Amino acid sequence: MFEDLPKFAFFTGKGGVGKTSLACATALSLADGGKKVLLVSTDPASNVGQVFETEIGNQITAIRGVERLDAIEINPEEAAAEYRERIVGPMRGLLPEKALKSIEEQLSGACTTEIAAFDEFTSLLTDPDVIDRYDNVIFDTAPTGHTIRLLKLPGAWSGFLEAGAGDASCLGPLAGLEKQRERYGAAVDRLADAASTRLILVARPRHSALAEAARTSRELAAIGIENQHLAINGVMPQDGTADPLAAALGRRDRAALATMDAGLARLPRQIFPLRSENLVGIAALRRFALGAEDAALNAEAKLPRPIHAEFPGLGTLIDEIERPGKGLIMFMGKGGVGKTTMAAAVATELAARGYEVLLTTTDPAANLTETLGESPPHLSVSRIDPAKETARYREHVLETKGKDLEPEGRAMLEEDLRSPCTEEIAVFQAFSRVIRESTRHFVVMDTAPTGHTLLLLDATGSYHRDIVRHADPGNHGRMVTPMMRLQDPGQTKIAIVTLPETTPVLEAAHLQDDLRRAGIEPWAWIINASLTAAVSDHPLLRQRAASEHDQIAKVRDELASRYAVVPMMAEELVGARNLRQLATVLQTPKAA
């Protein structure tokens, strides 16, 4: 796998590029080689447990069947609950119940959840027991944009505390953070130390994924993390095939690699070929780590007969979306499943039908303009940019709350607004503004990967509960909060996007459960990049297609009230004209 790894190694990159597979295979390879290894997932939508077929939680757990390998999944909600108890527990019996409830309310938002998760992250980087017990600590991180924020947070909070910000915002969290000042400083130093930390940028051989890796590389270098390596995962083998789809995929991969950013191309690089088998289970991971042949690549595997008339295409969903003439359509799912492409395709088709459409994203790593190209008539594009929204929010607060303050009070307010918590508030407010726009026209939203979208929805729910709790009972019937709009199927349609593979479908099912617990019923599922819905005679692609059948059936028969299948496309779909192909690529099934 990777040679001469230092004690700490981070796998990061755009969602769906194979970070978890590479991190798990690397950890397994090191453990098989005699090292004592800890595998850490910082992704709120972690699937390390599914890959190793072992129940893993917020505690260090031994992996069954593998000596010397332990794992932990930093679950933000569990971490937040433990963090709240550490703050509130010592006060029980000392403060009145009303005061305790007030403190618990202060600690119930997404800001506290983030603080708690990164508090555990920094402890694993600096805990002497962890450092002494393990030869290697491997981090499987959340998709790029949120990993960048996680890696910046120790420095952000250290600087905030060094400035003497006190506890003006998020009273409980900051009181806890003050005690950790020394640990955060040590975490900053460790991340920048090339002798102890390496960051492995994982990318698919796609223009968008490589462009994202290049941006990540520059951002990491800017905060002092320069020991970077590049891993290109899932490259189509060059075997001289005459199969049109396989040949086109191979050409696409080579073109993307040949034109990657010059700075990225200079990094030490390893390439991993596309596999026919899903990397689930210890045996499959070992074969991958050793570079062994796929298990029983079946040259006789046959695709089913053409199924264009059997599965509904994306166009069937767009026809239903169009009927009300307005509304919010949110695309959710694990990173890398194609949410951005699906959102852009639906928005483009609605605009082509003459509707005013806003296409927006909450994903820090998304690049709608790269996917869409030049915006067609009736379509506008925006992005909820955390940095810009935070700056806008700070300016608004200073112009309103800070307008009549004395210099000392204004200085305290400015200090408070430098807290990283401020970003969570600003992003939520921007999210709420976009939701309100959907009452006038179509708003198509490409969301951040699963875990972080759920944190945003958690903030929305917290706001809703707070408004309801403090509202005049007589106004409840006229009150409409952002959460109420999300829960109303007449105003909001949630489309869950997945790939026809075991782990993405499982994670999408978990997302659906989480949404239902929040009172939000998903409207449809989209199965993207299906080889079953494509045409190929290549053995590797046939084998991968055969493995999709059970997952497509599970979505159709058990999980979705309505669904669509989008086939694997030979070319990356960029530009409005190409995106509109997805609306017609499969024929709408005829009524019985």
- Residue 397 lies inside a defined structural domain of this protein: no
- Residue 460 lies inside a defined structural domain of this protein: yes
Range with top average pLDDT, 111-125, 197-211, 301-315: 197-211
Decide if pLDDT at 464 tops 70: no
Q: Are residues 269 and 322 in the same domain?
A: no
Task: Tell me the per-residue pLDDT of 282-297, one tens digit each, with 9 for 90 and over.
Answer: 998 999 888 766 554 5
- Residue 131 lies inside a defined structural domain of this protein: yes
Share the mean pLDDT of the chain: 80
Question: Which residue in 588, 559, 531, 556 sits closest to 236, CA to CA?
Answer: 531
User: Residue 484: what pLDDT?
Assistant: 73
Q: Are residues 320 and 458 in the same domain?
A: yes
Hey, is 37 helix, strand or coil? strand
Q: Is 109 among the residues known to form the active site?
A: no
Q: Is 20 among the residues known to form the active site?
A: yes
User: Residue 354: what pLDDT?
Assistant: 96
Catalytic residue among 7, 14, 19, 152: 19
Q: Are residues 165 and 105 in the same domain?
A: yes
- Name the residue with tokens 């599922």: 525
Distance CA 395, CA 2 (A): 47
- Residue 302 lies inside a defined structural domain of this protein: no
Q: Is 35 among the residues known to form the active site?
A: no
**Tokens at 386, concatenated:** 């955390």
**Residue 198 near residue 5 (C-beta atoms within 8 A):** yes
**Tokens at 368, concatenated:** 């709608």
Of 52-56, 61-65, 290-294, 574-578, the least confident: 290-294
Decide if pLDDT at 9 tops 80: yes
Q: Is 461 among the residues known to form the active site?
A: no
Q: Are residues 150 and 186 in the same domain?
A: yes
Q: Are residues 328 and 272 in the same domain?
A: no
Q: Residue 379 pairs with which residues in a beta bridge?
A: 357
Domain containing 271 equals 8-290
Question: Which residue in 151, 202, 278 sits closest to 22, CA to CA?
Answer: 202
Q: Are residues 231 and 374 in the same domain?
A: no
User: Residue 425: what pLDDT?
Assistant: 72
Q: Are residues 241 and 350 in the same domain?
A: no
- With b meaning 16 or more CB within 10 Å and e meaning fewer, what string describes 204-237? bbbbbbbbbbbbbbebbeebebebbbbbbbbbbe
Region 175-184: mean pLDDT is: 58
Put residue 492 in one of left, alpha, beta given phi > 0 → left and psi -120 to 50 → alpha.
beta
Asked which of 230, 256, 290 is the last residue of a domain, the reply is 290
Query: By percentage, how much of the chain surpasses pLDDT 70?
Result: 78
pLDDT tier at 366, thresholds 50, 70, 90: low
**Tokens at 464, concatenated:** 């809703």
Q: Are residues 139 and 213 in the same domain?
A: yes
Q: Is 348 among the residues known to form the active site?
A: no
Identity of the residue numbered 408: E
User: Residue 149: what pLDDT?
Assistant: 54
Residue 543 phi, psi dihedral angles, 5° rounding: -65, -40
Of 100-114, 388-402, 463-477, 504-518, the least confident: 463-477
Catalytic residue among 46, 360, 502, 503: 503
Task: Tell me the per-residue pLDDT of 186-202, one tens digit each, with 9 for 90 and over.
Answer: 777 888 888 999 999 99
User: Residue 232: what pLDDT?
Assistant: 96
Q: Are residues 139 and 18 in the same domain?
A: yes
pLDDT tier at 418, thresholds 50, 70, 90: confident
User: Residue 71: what pLDDT?
Assistant: 94
Catalytic residue among 21, 348, 361, 536: 21
Decide if pLDDT at 349 tops 90: yes
Decide if pLDDT at 76 tops 80: no
**Tokens at 44, concatenated:** 């709120």
Of 27-31, 52-56, 397-401, 466-470, the least confident: 466-470
**Residue 288 near residue 280 (C-beta atoms within 8 A):** no
Catalytic residue among 13, 16, 402, 451: 16
Task: Tell me the per-residue pLDDT of 448-460, one tens digit each, with 9 for 90 and over.
Answer: 754 445 555 555 5
- Number of domains comprising the chain: 2
Q: Is 400 among the residues known to form the active site?
A: no
Catalytic residue among 43, 119, 243, 416: 43
DSSP line for 172-218: HHHHHHHTTHHHHHHHHHHHH-TTTEEEEEEE-SSHHHHHHHHHHHH
Catalytic residue among 20, 46, 360, 419: 20
Distance CA 100, CA 97 (A): 5
- Residue 578 lies inside a defined structural domain of this protein: yes
Distance CA 149, CA 588 (A): 43
- Residue 433 lies inside a defined structural domain of this protein: no
Decide if pLDDT at 227 tops 50: yes
What's the CATH code of the domain at 192? 3.40.50.300
Q: Are residues 258 and 348 in the same domain?
A: no
Q: Are residues 252 and 165 in the same domain?
A: yes
The sheet carrying 197-203 orders its strands as: 61-62, 69-73, 37-41, 136-140, 8-12, 197-203, 228-235, 269-273
Identity of the residue numbered 403: K
Catalytic residue among 13, 15, 18, 451: 18
Region 376-387: mean pLDDT is: 86
Q: Is 341 among the residues known to form the active site?
A: no
Region 534-558: mean pLDDT is: 90
Question: How many C-beta atoms lie closer than 10 Å to residue 70's C-beta?
Answer: 21
Q: Are residues 320 and 387 in the same domain?
A: yes
Count CA atoms within 13 Å of residue 497 on its CB side.
28
Region 123-149: mean pLDDT is: 78
Hey, is 497 helix, strand or coil? strand
Identity of the residue numbered 353: R
Distance CA 461, CA 452 (A): 14
Identify the burial level of 4 via C-beta atoms within 10 angstroms of its C-beta, where 0-12 means exposed, 13-18 middle and 19 or more buried.
exposed
pTM: 0.72
Higher pLDDT, 513 or 107: 513
- Residue 591 lies inside a defined structural domain of this protein: no
- Residue 174 lies inside a defined structural domain of this protein: yes
205, 314, 453, 493 from 489: Cα distances, Å = 38, 19, 19, 6
